[in-house]
Amino acid sequence: MSSRIGCRDLRVRGHGRELLHVPVLDVAAGEVLAVLGPNGAGKSTLLRALGHLVIRSGGMHRSGDVLLDGKPAGARELRAAVAAVLQRPILRRGTVAANAAAGLRLRGVGRAEARRRSAPWLDALGVGHLAARSARTLSGGEAQRVAIARALAVTPRVLLLDEPFAGLDATTRADLLADLHTVLAGLDTATVLVTHDRHEAVALAGHTALLVAGRIRQLGPTGHVLDRPVDADCARLVGFTNVLPPAVTGRPELHVARPENCTVGEGTGLRVPGTVRRVIPLGGTTRVDVDTAAGTLTCLAADAGGLEPGRAATVAVAEADLRSLPTSPIPTNGAFVG
């Protein structure tokens, strides 16, 4: 598929330093790309740069090309093609229906027609029954649904989502995630989702980019990126937080493992002795931290089995759950790791 939105040598500078540099990035029509990274990695900066929301203001400067359908696009073209949803939805005074129609109204669509075209999106996002209510009375989850409906109502060629699930309780987040999955699956829109949660990437995105310190370290199909990190930073991002050095494994490569794949006590594969540091019930699972020669290893267990701080314990990781980190150089920014 051809690229709908992309960039070439995209850079953002601010506060006397380079905040973002992405040599190459392409997102096809109908594709959802998740941009996963820690706080301060430049995720929101990338999103704003793609939507031409970062200009010569606030001490920030953007350079390079943003491409729309493969051709360099200016601010006017991008603003006509792009709709964005931010972490904290900004709703105007007035009803839910008026807010959902606001994007169309700004594009010159008449009031009645704008409401007619936006109403199905309120229904699709599960808030159609709130159309007559004041937007100021909505819960956080309801407000975010209205903001997404407003963005989709303008039939954008590109949809930018900046952590749309941030600040929502677990139940509300899960419901919105499911509804958004259904909605996006039926669109021809190129979508870029910024998140720090790999589970959101799995639920929504066919491809994922891992952004670290303003650079894309890894990019490819979501399943591959989340299962085969290319370096220690990427490994931490996708949940491989237990690091096992050669001195512990007896192997030349650095290995990593997820806490949910580590057991305390019984287990086959790699076994690392240590001492229980702390045991924390999490409701349904128990976190067990074990001090070992590899540092503190974390295990998530259904049953802590009477473990307590100070007790000797062995962390076991099955061979199939270990990942070795490549010794070859990290792929260049924007490289496809397939």
Nearest alpha carbon to residue 254 among 269, 273, 240: 240
pLDDT for residue 114 is more than 80: yes
- Backbone phi and psi for residue 140, each to the nearest 5 degrees, phi listed first: -60, -45
pLDDT for residue 233 is more than 90: yes
| Residue 313 bridge partners (DSSP) | 274
Mean pLDDT, rounded, of the chain: 91
What integer pLDDT is reported at residue 56 of this predicted model?
A: 53
What integer pLDDT is reported at residue 283 of this predicted model?
A: 83
Please answer whether residues 5 and 32 qualify as being in contact, where contact means their C-beta atoms are separated by less than 8 angstroms.
no
What integer pLDDT is reported at residue 55 of this predicted model?
A: 54
Looking up tokens 């939507």 gives 51
Please give the DSSP secondary-structure letter assigned to residue 139.
-
CA distance 101 to 111: 8
DSSP alpha helices (H): ranges in 127-228? 140-153, 170-185, 198-204, 222-227
SS3 content of the chain, % helix, strand, coil (to 5): 30, 35, 35
What integer pLDDT is reported at residue 268 of this predicted model?
A: 82
Q: At 327, is the pLDDT very low, low, confident or very high (cuts 50, 70, 90)?
A: low
pLDDT for residue 16 is more than 90: no
- Backbone phi and psi for residue 272, each to the nearest 5 degrees, phi listed first: -125, 115
CA distance 26 to 276: 47
Looking up tokens 């594009």 gives 107
Stretch 18-42: mean pLDDT: 95
Please give the DSSP secondary-structure letter assigned to residue 268.
S
Stretch 207-217: mean pLDDT: 97
What integer pLDDT is reported at residue 87 of this predicted model?
A: 83
Q: At 57, is the pLDDT very low, low, confident or very high (cuts 50, 70, 90)?
A: low
CA distance 293 to 272: 8
pLDDT in tens, 63-85: 999 999 999 999 899 989 999 99
* Domains contained in the chain, CATH given: 3-232 (3.40.50.300), 240-324 (2.40.50.140)
pLDDT in tens, 281-291: 988 899 999 99
pLDDT for residue 58 is more than 80: no
CA distance 43 to 188: 23
pTM for the full predicted model? 0.90
